[in-house]
A = this chain, B = another copy of it.
Amino acid sequence: MGTSIIIPWVKENYGCDVIAVVANVGQDEELNSLEEKALKTGASKVFIEDLRSEFVTDYLWPLIKSGSRYEGTYLLGSAISRPLIARRQIQIAQRENADALVHGCISGSNDEIRFERVYKSFAPQLKVIAPWREWDLKSRRDAVAFAAAHQIPVTTAEAVIYSHDSNIWHMSYEGGILDDPSETLPQDLFERTLDPSDCPDGDSEITIDFEKGIPVGLNGQSIRPVQLIEDLNEIAGTNGVGRVDMVEDGINGMKTRGIYETPGGTLITAAHRELESLVLDRQTRQQKEILSIQYAQLVYEGCWFTPLREALDAFFEKTNEAVTGSVTMSLYKGNLTVKSRNSPKSLYRADNGPAGPENNNRPDTQELNKFLGLSSVVRIRR
């Protein structure tokens, strides 16, 4: 609906050509109809960009390596897509010699901040048009009225009571009763996962293989990134795994209720973490636990294209060098149970002593000098 309204509104108010950009990040929308609609409502051109593969390898894989969950819970499905979309939008604007960038984010929303941070970093000279900051429409209802007045047809999908953001990684829900943290969610809300009580009675067992922190195989078969997530979405969704219902703190400090489905992502994140528990030494694991909190905040706040994100990625890149191996999990009516973790880099020792620097006999006393100018090596048996 934003689509439907924004293009005519911008044309009307700015007297300009509008070039529409549709980023395909795997959302649950018919992209072809979007193109048609954009042209019908006045776009002079439409770009449909398939960003799915780039989204997975350049954004989701680093996220997986970092192990981040915002406020311990949210897998950052919306936040992680924004930098990519905004960046591509800018590239097209530059190629097309556009004067301005338009986004349809609500004033004060997380996404407004996320988009505009990227705009500011890469194209500070381009004007930003944010209709929701500028026009008089104050609500969904107003928007529907505007559409009616301009004879813009509103599809059923647009008239739904809850709004969505979706991509290959996740789907989010908000609006109406959903926003009140004291209210129970409607039974039929979720679209990608079954309710545990509706799941099949048997369990499903899957194995994910990792190489240097990246998931590369499913049940022993190597598999391409986008396909892997799609397959895992299916498996997890069928078994009711991957829902989140939380109260989260927005970038501006405002509390909102966050309702998400990240079925495949939940499996990958859990499996990655299990593998790490086997191959990272204690110090690294505990430091990474803290840095992943920091990373989650950066991603959430739209600070993807920043030196700190890059430096943290360098850290995670290093720790993930050891994260090779496989994890087998069982899924059953909403439960995810790890069955087995295996790695050629495992630090687990069945018999006794561990690896790691902390593993010494500790001294009892301290005294005297250090005679370190000279140390020796010895051949005892000759």
Q: Closest residue to A126 on the B side, CB-wise? A: B377
Tally of contact residues, A, Cβ under 8 A? 169
Q: A23-B375, A138-B367 provided; 10 other pairs, C-beta below 8 A?
A: A16-B379, A101-B375, A107-B365, A108-B362, A117-B357, A180-B350, A254-B363, A283-B306, A284-B311, A311-B316
Tell yes or no: A335 within 8 A of B by CB. Answer: yes
Tell yes or no: A303 within 8 A of B by CB. Answer: yes
Expressed in whole angstroms, the Cα–Cα distance for A20 and B375 within the complex equals: 6
Contacting pair A34 B373 (CB below 8 A): yes
Contacting pair B252 A281 (CB below 8 A): no
Tell yes or no: A98 within 8 A of B by CB. Answer: yes
Contacting pair A108 B378 (CB below 8 A): no
Expressed in whole angstroms, the Cα–Cα distance for A249 and B374 within the complex equals: 26
Contacts A314-B315, A365-B107 hold; do A308 and B334 have CB atoms under 8 A apart? no
Contacting pair B96 A370 (CB below 8 A): no
Expressed in whole angstroms, the Cα–Cα distance for A381 and B97 within the complex equals: 10
Contacting pair B335 A252 (CB below 8 A): no
| Set B102, B249, B372: member contacting A377, Cβ < 8 A | B102
Point out the residues of chain B lying under 8 angstroms from A257, CB to CB.
348
Of the listed stretches A2-10, A51-59, A222-230, chain B binds A2-10
Q: What is the distance, in angstroms, from A209's C-beta to the closest C-beta of chain B?
A: 14
Expressed in whole angstroms, the Cα–Cα distance for A318 and B311 within the complex equals: 5
Q: What is the distance, in angstroms, from A115's C-beta to the closest C-beta of chain B?
A: 8
Question: What would be 6 A-B contacts, judged by CB atoms less than 8 Å apart?
Answer: A3-B373, A7-B376, A14-B378, A100-B378, A106-B367, A290-B293
